Every structure is written in C-alpha cells, then in structure tokens.
Amino acid sequence: MCMDDSSLTFMEATRQDSQCIDHAARIWAQAAAQRDHKPTPTDGSQALVGVQRRLALPEARLVMASKDGVPAGFTIASPHDGYLEIYYVAVAPDFWGQGIARVLLSEVDRHAASAGHVELRLWVIADDSRAIELYLSCGYQHTGQELIDETSGRIEFLLRKKLSREPG
C-alpha cells in the first residue's frame, strides 16, 4: 500500500533522547504484543533494554516517524563489515496498514546509499508472514541462513537487499 507521506515526519534521535527512545520501546512492545496475540502493554519497559542495547552499537541510528505529530514507527540500524544491519522496523498497531513501514524502509535505503553501504541485512521471525511479505516486496531476498533466537526460542531468517550503486 502506498501512502501520502506528507503528514509523516522523520527525526533522527540521539542516544541521549530519552523521550524518543521511550516512544520506540513502547511502539516495539505494542507491535510485538499485537503480532504475537498477547495483551498490549501500557508502556515499553520490557522492550527498553533491547532498544538501548542496539543504540549502543557503533554508529547506531534511530529514526522515528511521526504522523500528524504522533510517534508512529521507527527503525534502528547500525553498520557492519560492508553492510547496514537493521535491528528494528516497527510501527505502532494503530498505524498498521498505512504504508509507514515501507516509507521507513525507503528512508533506511536512502541513508545506507548515502553512507556508501551496498547491502542491507535484517533478521525476521520465520512465522511473521506479514513482515516477510513486506520485506520481500521491498527487494529483500532470503539468504538461506536461519537461527534460533536465544531469547525467544523462535526461528529467524536472514534477509538481505543489495543496493545499486549509481555513478555520480
């Protein structure tokens, strides 16, 4: 689904931006609960440690998307040996189906290309067909690698996307 993103704004947060980090943790906790058919948490406290851990990585970048001033989704990515790894792509359940995740992924693509990365990678839960469908439609491909997440015990697949290098 395409969306009119004129009401969507982006803000890159720093590690010191506790309000934005709290918003990200709340969005992740609510989205994960909805995805897993669990009760919606009132805050993001159970997700906060994971968000902070990823933000502590070298050159980690958190981008918050807000729609009409309301935090709607975010990404966290960090560079590795020649590629950019995306750790979080999350949209608050109230905003699902509006194309926000696709716009966030496009923003990550632009950032990766401008930073000189030629590949993006992310791990996705194997039974999250909604996310897998989104990533595949955005140009990601299965690598054949999988693992069992130590925390959740769930199988995850590694997906990657090659970015084209345009002369210039």
pLDDT digits (tens, 9 = 90+) for 109-127: 999 999 999 999 999 999 9
Percentage of residues in the chain having pLDDT higher than 70? 94
Q: What is the pLDDT of residue 2?
A: 39
Q: What is the pLDDT of residue 5?
A: 52
Percentage of residues in the chain having pLDDT higher than 90? 83
Angle at 152 between CA 150 and CA 158, to 5 degrees: 70
Q: Which residues of 87-106 are buried (b: 16+ CB within 10 A; e: fewer)?
A: bbbbbbeebbebbbbbbbbe
5-162: CATH number? 3.40.630.30
Q: Which residues of 19-36 are buried (b: 16+ CB within 10 A; e: fewer)?
A: ebbbbbbbbbbbbbbbbe
Q: How confident is the model at residue 7 (pLDDT cuts 50, 70, 90)?
A: confident
* Domain layout of the chain by residue ranges: 5-162
Tens digit of pLDDT for each residue in 65-99?
999 999 999 999 999 988 999 999 999 999 999 99
